[in-house]
Structure 1
């Protein structure tokens, strides 16, 4: 079973290596935000030093990559469906969940590499972060990629329409970004915004990332974020696999 997932993962990674320019373009916008927007936030962060600003701002930029990168992953499934590639895989001897698992694992690997580059750039700009905190953040990024990717694949297999898919993803991405506090902490806004944010899983990932980069490894936001994302990853993976099974019927 897992051998099949490994084979799909290897195939997807080889395709990524043949055309690595798009993942690099995916981190261009967060890098520009780090270079030109983060320096403007000194007055909004207690202390106002580069360390405090980057510890607050960098997790949001990392999760921006996860949201806007993995949420559009489902379009590749639509293309494979139209070309008949996916149907041939579904009726083959391959373990069906491996078709989805291999793809979402590829998305997670690409996302972790992108996130590591963002951390390295932030360190060059003045961020100080421990190795353990950086590794935990990369793990959280991998879970975020798994969640967003499997959700995107499930949605694509369910609706099978690029225009509808694009509209739904755009509709979800904007409020998820704003309510999660990717650019500024939600605590700076009115109380009602903080209440709404508690229903946004991305909010917990952002808060956990900020706790990690501040060096507060004992913060309750960290295990809470991991627990929420593990559960949501399992649910969206089940949804995507069931949507794939309907394709073969």
Structure 2
């Protein structure tokens, strides 16, 4: 049996990353001309509706009463990816592993940002519902913790942080001030790679807004741009046709 290619390996990580992903697309965040040009948005009643990437069925509309047991297993699924990446690191040349790792970083970064945004804005965009609010809160914690552990274990210095789809360093400084503080310390052994011990992340709704007090910075990314990245990378919606 032939060994899976790096591309196949990367694709094998995605199911654990996006399975049981709850999402919604607020209609007032996307221009009408974009909706008209994309059949996916024009023919699907997807706006202001909660969908979930079901473990067995793929993306389906979320209905009250659905068995959400797998949401409780989300942290375990994401941890499987971390163990998988740590094992793969010793199996392939560094330049091959780093390419796959950086591609994974971009998607994990996107999912952290957008689940955080959806959790923060759900009650502004959709009718208030305790069940839905709880689901999006739990989900945001899982992706935040996963992204934090990913950064701590594979990106010990700021100079190797990928550019990604966001300004990743600003994202880290905003949501992970403990990591950012380590980045600003002088390196005593620049050639020595050490793996920090993962720590538990704090709740998304308990985030302080510390590092942005001195200088007023623009938003890291708009809600539309985050939705665009998610639809392109997870659901293969082609936004290039709009250019």
| TM-score, length-scaled by structure 1 | 0.30
Q: Which structure's residues are more often helix, by fraction?
A: 1
| TM-score, length-scaled by structure 2 | 0.30
Identify which of structures 1 and 2 has the higher relative contact order when contacts are C-alpha pairs closer than 8 Å and 6+ apart.
1
